[in-house]
């Protein structure tokens, strides 16, 4: 099971009712966070995210509303008892930015592992999850992310019982490993499994205009999280100039990419009630939700 939460859904600056956009994904007791604007550590706690689980921090790009909260988060993690390494990944230039921001948080009681992502690589793996990243268009280097969890086949206990396999061996077989029983019988995983399950796929896009490459990148995702800076079509020209998407852009992308569900995020501070305009997106892609601070779902 993968748990997904949006502790913040705002763009540009935090407001009285909305923290800055970020995404928390947790799997098997480990968590990753996408982006870290001002006050993110507070948003995480308000949303019930356990900071002690965080071991990977991804950055989409280096604008302040996505990265300026890093020093505070690093210090909060240390004060919360973190001692294990924190991996920080993002576009090239990440180390320089992290070093600069860390001037005001120079000492933390855990190692930082910096991973600058080169566009030619496209993929990496962490904690059993597979990551892909896609260059977007926002005036500075900016990445969209795809996170894929390959799920184990379904284990059939009835098949295992019929073969008189000790329950202590169930986990080994479920992990795809062959075992040899005391009576010298060889039991292969396929003898007790019921076939493959589809992987879980989550995609995250903010701060970009809509690009054709995003459609293939997000294809078939269980959840697409994508920005809706404004809802009104009259803002289209201005948003294109500034490298942002409207509700309709993300909804069209969700429809074209055949995703199962869309959460809108990264709202303009001027957009005080996104739910009021959700029909503009749902008319294009019905399974659209106006993301809000603390929205959460398990997959």
CB 86 within 8 A of CB 53: no
Q: Are residues 119 and 101 in the same domain?
A: yes
For the chain, give the mean pLDDT: 94
Q: Are residues 55 and 182 in the same domain?
A: no
Q: Are residues 90 and 178 in the same domain?
A: no
Q: Give the whole-number percent of the chain exceeding pLDDT 70.
A: 100
Count of domains observed in the chain: 2
pLDDT in tens, 190-242: 888 887 788 999 999 999 999 999 999 999 999 999 999 999 999 899 888 89
- Which of left, alpha, beta for 258 (phi over 0: left; psi -120 to 50: alpha)? left
Q: Are residues 210 and 186 in the same domain?
A: no
Annotated binding site: 61, 63, 65-66, 138, 207, 266
Residue 35 binned pLDDT confidence (cut-offs 50, 70, 90) = very high
Buried (b) or exposed (e) across 208-246, using 16+ Cβ within 10 A? bbbeeebbebbeebbbbbbbbbbbeeebeeebeeebbbb
Residue 79, number of CB atoms within 10 A of its CB: 12
Range of the domain at 66: 2-151+198-298
pLDDT in tens, 2-18: 999 999 999 999 999 99
Q: What is the mean pLDDT of residues 52-64?
A: 97
- What is the CATH classification number for the domain harbouring 41? 3.60.15.10
What is the reported pTM? 0.89
Q: Are residues 22 and 87 in the same domain?
A: yes
pLDDT in tens, 134-169: 999 999 999 999 999 988 788 889 888 898 889 898
Q: Are residues 60 and 174 in the same domain?
A: no
208, β-bridge pairs: none
CA 211 from chain centre, in angstroms, equals: 20
Buried (b) or exposed (e) across 255-292, using 16+ Cβ within 10 A? bbbebebbbbbbbbeebeebeebbebbbebbebbbbbb
Check residue 50 and give its pLDDT.
94
Annotated binding site for Zn(2+): 61, 63, 65-66, 138, 207, 266
Query: Is 27 a residue whose pLDDT tops 90?
Result: yes
As annotated, the active-site residues are 65
Q: Are residues 34 and 166 in the same domain?
A: no
* Greater model confidence, 32 or 127: 32
Query: Is 290 a residue whose pLDDT tops 80?
Result: yes
pLDDT in tens, 42-51: 999 999 999 9
pLDDT in tens, 242-276: 999 999 999 999 999 999 999 999 999 999 999 99
Check residue 173 and give its pLDDT.
83
CB 156 within 8 A of CB 194: yes
Q: Are residues 187 and 76 in the same domain?
A: no
Check residue 189 and give its pLDDT.
83
Q: Are residues 54 and 143 in the same domain?
A: yes
Q: Are residues 37 and 184 in the same domain?
A: no
Q: Are residues 56 and 166 in the same domain?
A: no
Check residue 280 and give its pLDDT.
93
């Amino acid at each position: 099971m993968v748990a997904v939460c949006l502790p913040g859904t705002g763009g540009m600056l935090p407001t009285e009712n909305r923290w800055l956009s970020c995404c928390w994904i947790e799997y098997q007791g480990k968590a990753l966070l996408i982006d870290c604007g001002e006050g993110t550590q507070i948003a995480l706690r308000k949303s019930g995210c356990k900071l002690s689980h965080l071991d990977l921090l991804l950055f989409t790009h280096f604008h302040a509303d996505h990265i300026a909260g890093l020093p505070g988060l690093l210090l909060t993690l240390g004060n919360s008892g973190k001692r294990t390494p924190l991996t920080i990944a993002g576009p090239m230039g990440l180390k320089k930015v992290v070093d600069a921001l860390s001037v005001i948080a120079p000492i933390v009681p855990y190692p930082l592992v910096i991973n600058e992502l080169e566009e030619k690589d496209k993929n990496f793996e962490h904690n059993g999850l597979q990551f892909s990243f896609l260059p977007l268009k926002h005036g500075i280097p900016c990445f969209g992310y795809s996170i894929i969890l390959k799920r184990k086949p379904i284990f059939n206990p009835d098949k295992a019982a019929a073969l008189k396999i000790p329950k202590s061996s169930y986990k080994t077989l479920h992990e795809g490993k062959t075992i040899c029983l005391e009576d010298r019988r060889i039991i292969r995983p396929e003898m007790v499994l019921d076939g493959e399950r589809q992987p879980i796929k989550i995609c995250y896009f903010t701060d970009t205009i809509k690009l054709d490459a995003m459609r293939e990148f997000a294809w078939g995702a269980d959840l697409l999280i994508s920005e809706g800076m404004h809802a009104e079509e009259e803002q289209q020209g201005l948003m294109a100039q500034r490298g942002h998407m409207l509700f309709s852009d993300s909804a069209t992308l969700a429809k074209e990419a055949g995703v199962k569900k869309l959460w809108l995020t990264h709202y303009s501070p001027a957009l005080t009630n996104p739910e009021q305009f959700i029909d503009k997106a749902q008319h294009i892609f019905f399974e659209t939700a106006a993301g809000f601070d603390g929205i959460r779902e398990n997959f």
